[in-house]
């Protein structure tokens, strides 16, 4: 088989793996070497400074021993099979780099002969790149579950980042959809990589030139929509992975139905990319906003709201905390306010030293006032309407979210699709008040209600199932509410994750 045919087959087979991002590595070039993974990092989308970074994302082989129900490369699928030798792939990577096609490598593989043989070939390919070609660019390599720990350790000394994909969020789903994979074979290399990172970190404190081991950390991937786990189960598992294995990232991949099975969604439907997006938002809250998975979701509401981001959803479910007086709230409370992030929260704290903030000065901190105004007061003034009414705020926010999602198809496009696609109209970017043509609080009566309904697309009115219609929420008199809570809100407790017997963290059947 020609090298170009192998490249076409194995690059196509690799596209379903999403767990690659900015490297976080600081591997610098050496005299006589080529490539550099320092400073900006490598990813397949955008770097921190706005540059688009290219990455060769490829499988070493798609000839697999396993027959996982969800995988396009499973043994029972009748698809073209191909494999690179370590030398072929190393030479191809260098040829692409020298032509300025790529700046790094993302390498994975199906299980061809055995986990050990597959991992051995990948390690040899990494050795050729690092030692023979003296390539110092970014390399992300998949650790093969079940491979010998010595091979995992060798790969860790050559790669910048490693990952072991969990794929399925529960042990039950793993048994049904991928019976040849075992939970222990996935968690053992994860723990080995974590221990190796900690050991090298300690060695680095004693010796500046101690050898590196996975300097950009490890990551994993969870598949969304192929199995029946709820968002609550998925987030609890992600939280456990961050706490126990110090994951750099947990990636979420909306399942694309490529196989036919009674255990899987019917092929042909769009992947649940909006659900994937909400999980990424919730994951961000876990990592940077000090939220706990149990705060965001619980037994009575185990799924994220597709029409509203998780932070707003949490705020509306906790009306006793809001509205918050922006001039008195501490940093942890500020982080809980929709529209305020870590940077704007720090700016607010700093600005208050020079005097009380107003809505005008609050804009300069970077806070998103079109969202935050519903949840705050400034010097006792509330700019979110007559009073803090969760039902009304939910209606307004979900209406704006739905307008922003117009034209969203939820499909993965290729470059060829984009070249033949007509340019879509720009989505509506203003507020609901602007969309309806000016003020809405001053219009009353049946004519105003009918006029409002005519201006709202039918898709909006049809999406509200468990709340009143948008126009009713806007036009109807607001119900009486209890007196507002104290401006600063109650103190929030630190999140805790309770261990099960034996000290393991339990996540609905996938104990870590």
pLDDT single digits (tens) 342-361: 999 999 999 999 999 999 99
pLDDT single digits (tens) 413-467: 444 444 444 444 333 334 333 333 333 343 344 444 444 444 444 433 343 333 3
- pLDDT at res. 400: 79
Give the dihedral sign, CA 150/152/155/160.
Answer: negative
- pLDDT at res. 270: 85
- pLDDT at res. 335: 96
- pLDDT at res. 30: 61
SS (H, E, C) 234-268: HHHHHHHHHHHHCCCEEEEEECCCCCCCCCCCCCC
- pLDDT at res. 327: 96
- pLDDT at res. 257: 85
**3-class state of residue 390 by DSSP:** helix
- pLDDT-flagged residues of the chain (< 70): 18-53, 403-512
- What pTM, to 2 d.p., does this model score? 0.75
In whole angstroms, what is the distance from residue 499 CA to residue 496 CA?
9
Side-chain half-sphere CA neighbours of 322 within 13 A: 25
- pLDDT at res. 193: 96
In whole angstroms, what is the distance from residue 69 CA to residue 258 CA?
10
DSSP 8-state code for residue 413: P
Neighbour order of strands in the sheet with 324-325: 324-325, 376-378, 381-382
């Amino acid at each position: 088989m020609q090298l170009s045919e192998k490249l076409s087959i194995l690059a196509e087979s690799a596209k379903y793996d999403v767990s690659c991002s900015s490297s976080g590595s600081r591997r610098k070039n050496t005299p006589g070497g080529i490539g550099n993974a320092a400073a900006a990092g490598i990813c397949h989308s955008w770097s921190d400074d706005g540059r688009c970074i290219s990455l060769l994302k490829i499988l070493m082989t798609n000839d697999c021993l396993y027959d996982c129900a969800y995988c396009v490369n499973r043994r029972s699928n009748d698809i073209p099979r191909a494999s690179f030798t370590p030398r072929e792939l190393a030479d191809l990577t260098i040829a692409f780099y020298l032509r300025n096609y790529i700046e790094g490598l993302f390498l994975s593989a199906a299980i061809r002969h055995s986990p050990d043989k597959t991992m051995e070939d990948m390690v040899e390919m990494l050795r050729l790149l690092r030692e023979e070609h003296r390539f110092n660019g970014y390399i992300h390599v998949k650790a093969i579950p079940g491979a010998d720990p010595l091979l995992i350790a060798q790969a860790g000394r050559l790669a910048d980042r490693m990952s072991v994909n969990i794929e399925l969020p529960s042990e039950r789903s793993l048994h049904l959809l991928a019976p040849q994979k075992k939970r222990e074979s996935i968690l053992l290399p994860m723990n080995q990589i974590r221990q190796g990172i900690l050991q090298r970190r300690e060695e680095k404190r004693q010796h500046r030139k101690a050898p590196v081991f996975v300097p950009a950390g490890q990551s994993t991937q969870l598949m969304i929509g192929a199995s029946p786990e709820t968002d609550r189960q998925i987030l609890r598992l992600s939280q456990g992975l961050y706490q126990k294995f110090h994951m750099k990232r947990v990636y979420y991949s909306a399942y694309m139905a490529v196989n036919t099975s009674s255990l899987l969604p019917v092929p042909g439907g769009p992947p649940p990319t909006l659900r994937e997006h909400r999980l990424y938002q919730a994951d961000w809250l876990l990592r940077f906003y000090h939220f706990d998975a149990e705060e965001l979701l619980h037994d009575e509401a185990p799924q994220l709201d597709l029409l509203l981001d998780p932070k707003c959803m949490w705020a509306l479910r906790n009306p006793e905390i809001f509205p918050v007086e922006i001039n008195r709230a501490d940093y942890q409370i500020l982080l809980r306010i929709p529209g305020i992030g870590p940077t704007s929260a720090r700016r607010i704290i700093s600005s208050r030293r020079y005097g009380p903030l107003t809505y005008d000065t609050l804009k300069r901190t970077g806070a998103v006032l079109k969202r935050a105004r519903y949840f705050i007061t400034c010097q006792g003034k509330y700019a979110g309407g007559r009073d803090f009414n969760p039902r009304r705020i939910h209606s307004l926010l979900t209406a704006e979210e739905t307008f922003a999602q117009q034209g969203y198809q939820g499909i993965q496009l290729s470059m060829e699709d984009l070249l033949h696609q007509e340019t879509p109209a720009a989505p509506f970017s203003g507020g609901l008040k602007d969309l309806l043509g000016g003020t809405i609080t001053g219009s009353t009566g049946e004519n105003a209600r009918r006029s409002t309904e005519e201006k709202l697309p039918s898709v909006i009115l049809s999406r509200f199932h468990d709340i009143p219609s948008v126009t009713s929420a806007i036009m109807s008199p607001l119900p009486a509410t209890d007196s507002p809570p104290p401006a600063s809100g109650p103190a929030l407790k630190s999140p805790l994750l309770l261990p099960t017997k034996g000290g393991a963290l339990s996540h609905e059947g996938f104990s870590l």
